[in-house]
Amino acid sequence: MKKGTKTIKILTVVGARPNFVKVAPLVRRIQEFNEDSSRPEKISHILVHTGQHYNYNLSKVFFDELSIPMPDVYLGIGSGTHAEQTAKIMLSLEKVLFKLNPHIVVVVGDVNSTLACALTAVKAEFPVAHIEAGLRCYDRTLPEEVNRLLTDAIADLLFAPSEDAVNNLKKENIAEERIFFVGNIMIDCLIEHEKEIENSQILQKLGLTPKNYALLTLHRNKNVDEAEILSGILRAVNRLSEQICIVFPIHLRTLKRIAEFGLNDLISPRILLVEPLGYIDFLKLLKNSKFVMTDSGGVQEETTFCGVPCLTLRETTERPITVISGTNEVVGVEEESIIHWGRKALRDEWKKGSIPTLWDGKTSHRVLQILVEYALKSGL
């Protein structure tokens, strides 16, 4: 490094699968920034993994597939209640922050790691940037909604993925100079890995052909921890499986609940249970499915970008742009509603949808430019 070169120290925190997908493009932009000999500054990037997701297929495989360097710091928090996870992360991260003294802390998404790290950094007087700010479903019974609200209230830089997210932040009286409409960083990841996704052999491995199967993901507490709701969803899926094979990459917790509630009989032979998948194989399945049923926020966005019909198994969504502009419909968790919308998808009676503004694969470029400008203005 040349003498006198300014070094910007950015500390990025990840903790769960959606975080890894959002951080991967930013990591690549930082690498490209440092390889640019014309830049008078360099970036020292510190990646902290809280360990909120500790199963290999929910964590390490994403680092491998997305070419993310192994974390510089691994906190190893593991499972626990919301309070336990949040407290453990805060206690561990505080020591890391004071030791490494970053110029800015970047958090992503809406998991417990997001809020815990934002709160710790702000109280220790480190600036915080939140990627995926402004998403709201207006249901405070959801822990993710609480994490989003509190993180956005205290962050210094708010990177919004859609125009409705910008409007939400403005309605909450957040100063406009803190808000940046940058687009959806998850789409950067999808675009950058198009070739690997196309080359995935997961369809052949599972004996599937394009558009001759549906895809199901199910993991949210409200859906899998209440026997009545879970059984209703599974009854609907079972009935739809009479018309189309349904591929179900199942979380271990969801599998455990099915056994605990005595619902194994609702898994018909036409429901193909598979272990949690890596990013590349999952996106290959998603892009080639007839339709997708999910309670995941990220999957709503990925289906919209890929033009695949999506049935969101929830009563609300924090991503209304995927309904307004995209291919998503919020169908709830009632058995007959899921059946109704599933059969519409089977008959190809579905809206075409369009790709929202700034979902163009360049979000990470915009984010990094703003981070660098902010750090330089703050004085190094």
User: What mean pLDDT, rounded, does the chain reach?
Assistant: 94
Task: Output the pLDDT for position 52.
Answer: 66
C-alpha torsion sign, points 81, 84, 90, 92: negative
Task: Say if residues 33 and 129 touch (Cβ distance below 8 Å).
Answer: no
- CA–CA separation, 236 and 229 (whole Å): 11
Q: What is the pLDDT of residues 140-180, one digit of tens each?
A: 999 999 999 999 999 999 999 999 999 999 999 999 999 99
Contacts for 278 with CB less than 8 Å, ≥ 6 apart: 57, 61, 62, 64, 65
pLDDT band (50, 70, 90) for residue 187? very high
Using CA atoms, how far residue 142 sits from 169, 316, 373, in Å, is 19, 10, 35
- CA–CA separation, 288 and 49 (whole Å): 32
| Residues counted in the chain | 380
Task: Output the pLDDT for position 62.
Answer: 78
Task: Output the pLDDT for position 56.
Answer: 47
In 3D space, the residue among 25, 365, 377 whose CA is nearest the CA of residue 177 turns out to be 377
- CA–CA separation, 281 and 204 (whole Å): 11
pLDDT band (50, 70, 90) for residue 186? very high
What is the CATH number assigned to the segment(s) 6-183+359-378?
Answer: 3.40.50.2000
- CA–CA separation, 69 and 28 (whole Å): 10
pLDDT band (50, 70, 90) for residue 216? very high
Q: What is the pLDDT of residues 107-143, one digit of tens each?
A: 999 999 999 999 999 999 999 999 999 999 999 999 9
Burial class of residue 168 (count of CB atoms within 10 Å of its CB; 0-12, 13-18, 19+): buried
C-alpha torsion sign, points 349, 350, 351, 355: negative
Percent of the residues in the chain that have a pLDDT greater than 70, as a whole number: 97
Task: Say if residues 256 and 224 touch (Cβ distance below 8 Å).
Answer: no
- CA–CA separation, 215 and 270 (whole Å): 12
How confident is the model over 47-57, as a mean pLDDT? Answer: 72
Q: Which helix (H) or strand (E) holds 273?
A: strand 271-274
Residues with active-site annotation: 219
Most confident of 63-72, 176-185, 249-258: 176-185
Sheet containing 271-274: which strands, arranged edge to edge? 271-274, 245-249, 213-216, 292-294, 310-312, 328-330
What are the residue ranges of CATH 3.40.50.2000 in the chain?
6-183+359-378, 200-346
What is the Cα 227 distance to its own chain's centre?
A: 26
What is the CATH number assigned to the segment(s) 200-346?
Answer: 3.40.50.2000
Look at phi and psi of residue 165 and say left if phi exceeds 0, alpha if psi is from -120 to 50, else beta: alpha
- CA–CA separation, 320 and 323 (whole Å): 5
